[in-house]
Amino acid sequence: MRATVMYGVHDVRVENVPDAQLIKPGDALVSVTRACICGSDLWPYNSMKSSEVGNRMGHEFIGRVEAVGSEVRRVKKGDLVVAPFAWSDGTCEFCAQGLQTSCIHGGFWGGTKLDGGQGEAVRVPLADGTLVVLPVGEDHALMPSLLTLTDVMGTGHHAARAAKVGPGKIAAVVGDGAVGLCGVIAARRLGAEKIIILGRHPDRVALAREFGATEVVSERGEAAVERVRELTGGLGAHSVLECVGHGESMSTALGIARPGGAVGRVGVPQSNEMPEAKTTFYRNVTISGGPAPVRAYIEELMPDVLEGRIQPGKVFDSVTNLDGVPDGYRAMNDRKSIKVMIKF
C-alpha cells in the first residue's frame, strides 16, 4: 500500500510501505477514506532530525472497516468509523475518567512502528475502545466536519473546557489555526458572551467571526496584552484558550487571563519553561490542558455536527489526494492553507 513518510525537515514522501494487516486479536484493519494534515505535523516538518527509516505520518482519519480480529465486538466489517488521534482500550482507570490520551495501554498513530492516517490503510489497535461508528455514508456532506472530530474540533473543545468557558464569560482564543478556530466554535457552544480571537491572517479571522468571535486582536506580544485589557475593562479574560504552543503565545495567553481566570492550553509546548510563573501565581490563574481526550468528545460533539449546529469542517480550505500530500504540507507551512483534507 502507499502512505506518507517523513524523513526530515521539509522531506515528506508518499511511497510504498508494507500492507497494513491484523496482528493482534483486538485489531481492526481500516481502509482510509478521508484524512488530513495537522498543524502539529508542521512541528516535525520544520525540526525533524534526518532519519533513514522515516516516520509514518497522520493521526486524523475516517475509514471503512475491512476486517477485525477475533476479540473485536463493537465494530464490524463494513462499518464507517472515525478514529481519535490517540488509540485507547476504553476500559482502564484513565479511560473510565474520560482521559483516553493517558490510556495505560494506548498510544499514538504513526512513527516507526504503527501505521499513520495519511496512508491507504491503518491497523487500529484496541479497536473496540478506539473507533466510533459513523451513522452516515462515506460521501455524506458532513464528512469534513465529522473529520474534525478526530482532532481539531475535540482539541478546541478541550481548550474551552480547560479554560472553564461558560455562560456570561469573556473568552479569548490565542491562535487562528484550525484548533483556534474550533476553539471559537467551542467557546460559543459553551455560552461565552464575548469571544476575542488573537490572530492576524485575514481569511482566518473572517472565519473566526463566522464561528462566533466578537472581537479581533491582531497585535502581538505586549501590545496584544494591552489591547485585550482595553477590551475587557482593564480586567482581562475569564477564559483563555492557548492554541499555538510557542513560548510567546503562552506568555500572551497567561498575560491576558484575569485574576481567578483559567488558561486551557492545547498547543503542544515547544519548550519546558513555563513563562509568567510569578505573575500568574499572584493572580490565582488556573493553568490546565494537555492532549485532548477527543475519544470522549466524539460522542459529545457528533450530534451537534449531525444536526448542523456546528460546522467545524469549514476549516478545510483545500482538498487533495494522497499524491498531493507533500504539496499540502508546503501549503500549510507557508500559511497558504488553513487545513488540508486528503480524499482517497
120 vs 159, 321, 323, CA distance in Å?
31, 11, 11
Q: Which stretch binds Zn ion (CB under 5 A): 72-80, 84-92, 143-151, 152-160?
A: 84-92
95 contacts Zn ion (rule: CB under 5 A): yes
Q: Which stretch binds Zn ion (CB under 5 A): 11-19, 92-100, 194-202, 314-322?
A: 92-100
Cβ contact 264:288 at 8 Å: yes
89 contacts Zn ion (rule: CB under 5 A): yes
Nearer to Zn ion, 127 or 163 (CB): 127
Q: Which stretch binds Zn ion (CB under 5 A): 1-9, 83-91, 143-151, 319-327?
A: 83-91
DSSP state of 18: P
Judged by CB under 5 A, the residue of 1, 67, 92, 319 near Zn ion is: 92
Nearest Cα to 166, choosing from 262, 90, 294? 262
Question: Residue for cell digits 492557548?
Answer: 242
88 contacts Zn ion (rule: CB under 5 A): yes
Number of residues lying near Zn ion (CB under 5 A): 5
Rounded CA-CA distance 224/272 in Å is 23
Nearer to Zn ion, 245 or 291 (CB): 291
* All cell numbers assigned to 170: 469573556
Torsion of CA 71, 100, 60, 131, to 10 degrees: 30
Nearer to Zn ion, 92 or 235 (CB): 92
Helix (H) or strand (E) holding 14: strand 11-16
Nearer to Zn ion, 166 or 290 (CB): 290
Nearer to Zn ion, 88 or 118 (CB): 88
DSSP per-residue string spanning 188-202: HHTT-SEEEEE---H
Judged by CB under 5 A, the residue of 103, 192, 225, 243 near Zn ion is: 103
HSE-up of residue 12 (Cα within 13 Å, Cβ side):
27
Q: Which stretch binds Zn ion (CB under 5 A): 93-101, 165-173, 284-292, 297-305?
A: 93-101
Q: Which stretch binds Zn ion (CB under 5 A): 81-89, 213-221, 248-256, 290-298?
A: 81-89
Nearer to Zn ion, 95 or 266 (CB): 95
Rounded CA-CA distance 213/193 in Å is 10
Please give the order of strands across the beta sheet that includes 11-16: 11-16, 2-8, 55-56
Tell me how far, at minimum, the Cβ of 95 lies from Zn ion, in Å: 3
Nearer to Zn ion, 93 or 230 (CB): 93
Q: Which residues bind Zn ion (CB under 5 A)?
A: 88-89, 92, 95, 103
